[in-house]
Amino acid sequence: MEHFMTLLMIVGIDIVLSADNAILIAMAAKNVDEKNRKKAILFGTAVAVVLRIAFAGLVTYLLQIPYLQALGGVLLVWIAIKLLISNDSDSHKEGGTSVLSAILMIVWADAAMSLDNVLALAAVANGDFLMIMVGILISIPIIVWGSSFCIKMMERFPVIIYIGAGILAWSAGGMVMHDKHLNFLPGIPAYSVQIGFVVGVLGMSYIANQFLKSRKK
């Protein structure tokens, strides 16, 4: 019964965490032409799964590396901004984004997010590698289906792209605040820092896009 409850918790956490990966892959693959879009989604999912398996095997070692989780959060902030800037500048280009550039963006972001995902799963599973693997396998259909669904919704309602970037920024703030090696913000609620990350990402993306538009005039 205890194992069953642990598995249920892992499934629930993995659904939430895999949604982040799905949004990320959708944002990176949205401007790829439809012929190659599925390739980008499947490759992004494969990278996410491989990285999670690798991180799961090294989770004890990874936890000992100072500031690794915080660095992953900073990387995710840069990726969220880059995706928003790319969306505004690439969406009007003939042919859109190349498959290679989308895949590279997915690889970088998956590296950051898969670390956070595995650390969360490892905490719930108490380091049980088999349980972590079950959680990883469950994430595959969620990411594939979720990415395709998110792309369709983003094409229909472009504002969802900014919501997606906000979710990535929120996750990044959580990664920074939950890094055990950081103690420079004692007593400050994690959500207040996460809100700051969201505002910062959306604000910097807006400024960067306005600057790029002014240069084109």
**Averaged pLDDT, 203-215:** 84
Encoded tokens for 165:
């970037």
Q: List, in order, residues 6 or more apart from 148 with CB less than 8 Å away.
A: 26, 41
Residue 197 has pLDDT above 90, yes or no: yes
- pLDDT digit string (tens) for 140-192? 787 778 888 888 888 888 888 888 888 888 888 888 887 777 766 667 787 88
Q: How far apart are the first and last CA of the chain?
A: 65
pLDDT digits (tens, 9 = 90+) for 32-88: 887 888 888 888 778 877 887 888 778 767 767 888 878 888 888 888 888 788 666
The tokens of 208 are what? 């960067």
Domain boundaries, the chain: 2-216
Instruction: Give the pair of three-digit tokens for residue 96.
Output: 């859109």
Residue 92 pLDDT > 50 = no
* The pair of three-digit structure tokens given for residue 100, joined into one six-digit string: 């290679």
Q: How far apart are CA 6 and CA 198, in angstroms?
A: 32
Q: What angle do CA 101, 149, 118 make, to 5 degrees?
A: 70
pLDDT, residue 200, reads 93
Take residue 81 and report the two structure tokens written for it.
């901004």
Q: Is the pTM of this model over 0.85?
A: no
- pLDDT tens, position by position, 5-24: 777 777 776 666 677 778 87
Integer Cα distance of 164 and 113 in angstroms: 14
Whether 198 has a pLDDT exceeding 90, the answer reads yes
Helix, strand, coil % in the chain, rounded to nearest 5: 85, 0, 15
- Quote the CA–CA distance of 25 and 19 in Å, as a whole number: 10
pLDDT value for 203? 92
Q: Is the pLDDT of residue 93 over 60?
A: no
Q: What is the C-alpha to C-alpha distance for residues 91 and 80, in angstroms, rounded to an integer?
A: 16
What are the backbone dihedrals phi and psi of residue 194, each rounded to the nearest 5 degrees, phi first?
-65, -40
Which pLDDT score is estimated for 60? 66
Mean pLDDT of 91-117: 69
